[in-house]
Amino acid sequence: MVIFDANAILRYILQDDEKSAASVKEKINETRCLVPTEVIAEVVYVLTKLYKVSRADTARVIEKFLLLENVSAMETSIVLHGLRAYASTKLDFIDCVLSGYQMQGYSIFTFDKKLQSYLESIA
């Protein structure tokens, strides 16, 4: 199993370096690939803050990547929920991931009023 870093995922998504993007595609085709949540958070940050990609488009392209055969996240269902929440709210991505944990039955303890309000709205 291979773990991808943010740079590898960005090359694949952005297709801004054909050789690197092809290398990532080849790796996906030959072995199981894992993407830690921390790496997804970095990809979200780079796409939205540096490349100015909309939250919805960022969530869409990362979700599409995570749904490729042989690619998975550490907690795929939680991360996918977080991406969908990120696309439709103004919460930080990590707060959106926390909401995914709530959807899995965890209790979230926070002093963040915006996060708490969102968590109550989806409970």
**Sheet strands (E) in the chain:** 2-3, 33-35, 71-73
For 56, the token pair is 């919805």
Mind listing the domains of the chain with CATH numbers? 2-122 (3.40.50)
Give pLDDT tens digits for 16-32: 999 999 999 999 999 99
Give the pLDDT band of residue 42 (cuts 50, 70, 90).
very high
**pTM, 2 dp:** 0.94
Give pLDDT tens digits for 50-87: 999 999 999 999 999 999 999 999 999 999 999 999 99
The amino acid present at 81, given as its one-letter code, is H
For 94, the token pair is 């990590």
Instruction: Judge contact between 37 and 79, C-beta under 8 A.
Output: yes
